[in-house]
Structure formats: structure tokens, C-alpha cells
Structure 1
Amino acid sequence: MKKTILIIDDSEPIRFLLETFLSRKYKVVSATDGYSAMLWLAKGNKPDMIVTDIQMPNIDGWELIDHLNSNELYNDVPVIVLSGVEAPRESAAYKIVDFIRKPFDPVNLMSTIDKNMQLSARVLTA
């Protein structure tokens, strides 16, 4: 069974690229902003990983990550930030596993996702 990645980005071309590229290996669900992602999560869905942008309408990436970190159901889900903004100095407080700047190399992103999926699988089975 394929692991699930939740992609959150308000850019349709970025979502399309990520869905197309990542769906070769993973089940991909996408949302246009943090609010839509939280609605999907509220239905009882739990992804194996989240890749999110920061600058989005309604609920931005930092607010979403705060919500995930404060919720016992989701605080163990690895989060990769994929954004055009610089990583703030306090980003470590948000419990993200990686911060990748746009424009990004899809091969590098896939490698980062694969590595973190393996790490999270080891932690869950330990």
C-alpha cells in the first residue's frame, strides 16, 4: 500500500507538478490552503507526510504547522516546508523535518521525502 502525502499549496501549477511527480511512488492528496487541509484532516484522515507552502490565503503554513504540533493525532507526521520565503530562525520550533526553497529541484525533493519517510517508519517501529 502506498504511503500518503498531503500537499498544500495555493499555486495550481505547483500542486499539479507535485501530484504528477510524487504519485509515481506515493498516494497524493492536495489542498489549496491550510484551511482546506485542516478540513481534510478533521474527517479522520492522517497522511504519512505533509509538504506545505507557507504563504497561502486563509490559514498559512505556519498556522497549520502550529495546529499539527498541538494536536496529538498529527504531531508525529513529518512536515516539509516548500516555500519561496526564507526559513525564519525560529523554524526549528515548528518541528519541520526540512525546509526547501522554491524554485526547487523535484529530484532533490523526492530524495528528501524518501529519506524522511524511511526515518519516520523506523521511529514508528522502534
Structure 2
Amino acid sequence: MKKKVLIIDDSKPIRILLEAILSRHYIVTTVADGLDAMAWLSAGHNADLIVTDLQMPNIDGWELLEHLSGSYLYKEIPVLVLSGEVTNAEPAAMMARYSNVQAVMHKPFDPIVLLEKVAHILNGQLTASLS
């Protein structure tokens, strides 16, 4: 059975690109911000991995990470942060603060590296990674 990936990014072109890259291997759902993501999860849907940007309207990625890590239902869902707004010091601090953050990648990203990180996370082989 294919694993499910929830993509959260306010940029429609990025959502389309990520869906095109990941949908050959996974069931992909895309939403525009953290508010839509929380509504989708609250409606009873589940994800095996969340790929999220940080800078978004409504509930941004930081608030989303707070909600997920503080939730009994969602804190075990691994997260890959994919953002152009991450400084060099933030990834280690982010992963220390939010145990569900398994990897941090910077935009622009290499699609092959993205696929590898997603596969490693979903197969339980990646514990923490910075890119």
C-alpha cells in the first residue's frame, strides 16, 4: 500500500511541482497553509509524512509544528521542512525542539535528494538530516 504524504505550501507552483515529483511513489495531498492542513487532519485524514514550508498565511509552518508536536494525535507524524526561509542555525534547533521534524531542506531543492529523504523517512532510516 502506498504511503500518504501531505504537502503544505502557499505557493501553487511549488505544490504542483512537489506533487509531480512525489505522486509516482506516494499518495499526495496538497494544501495551501497550516490552517488547511489542520482542517484536513481534523476531518479524519491521516498522513505518513508531512512536507511543509515555514512562511505561509493563516497558520504558518512554525505554528503548525507547535500544533503537531503538542497533539496526541499528530505528534508522531514525521515532518520534512522545505523552506527558503531557514537560516543555517535553525535546522538543528528546529529538530531539537520538534521531535517530529526529521529533515530540513532549503529551497531551491534537488528533486532526487528530496525523493531520497522522503523514502528514508518513510522507511524509518532517517533520524535527522540537514540539507
TM-score (norm 1): 0.91
User: Matched residues in 1 for 2:109 and 2:103: separation?
Assistant: 13
Give runs of aligned pairs for residues 69-108 of structure 1, distance below 5 A. Answer: 69-87=69-87, 88=90, 90-91=93-94, 92-95=96-99, 96-108=101-113
Unaligned runs of 5+ in 2: 126-131
Partner in structure 2 of residue 64 of structure 1: 64
Q: What letter matches 1:60 in structure 2?
A: D
User: Matched residues in 2 for 1:68 and 1:44: separation?
Assistant: 15
Give runs of aligned pairs for residues 21-60 of structure 1, distance below 5 A. Answer: 21-60=21-60
TM-score (norm 2): 0.88
Partner in structure 1 of residue 120 of structure 2: 115
RMSD: 1.1
The percent identity for this pair of structures is 50
Higher helix share goes to which structure? 1
User: Matched residues in 2 for 1:64 and 1:113: separation?
Assistant: 19
Shift of 1:86: 1.9
User: Matched residues in 2 for 1:85 and 1:117: separation?
Assistant: 25
Shift of 1:53: 0.1
Partner in structure 1 of residue 128 of structure 2: none
User: Matched residues in 2 for 1:90 and 1:98: separation?
Assistant: 12
Partner in structure 2 of residue 7 of structure 1: 7
User: Matched residues in 1 for 2:55 and 2:109: separation?
Assistant: 16
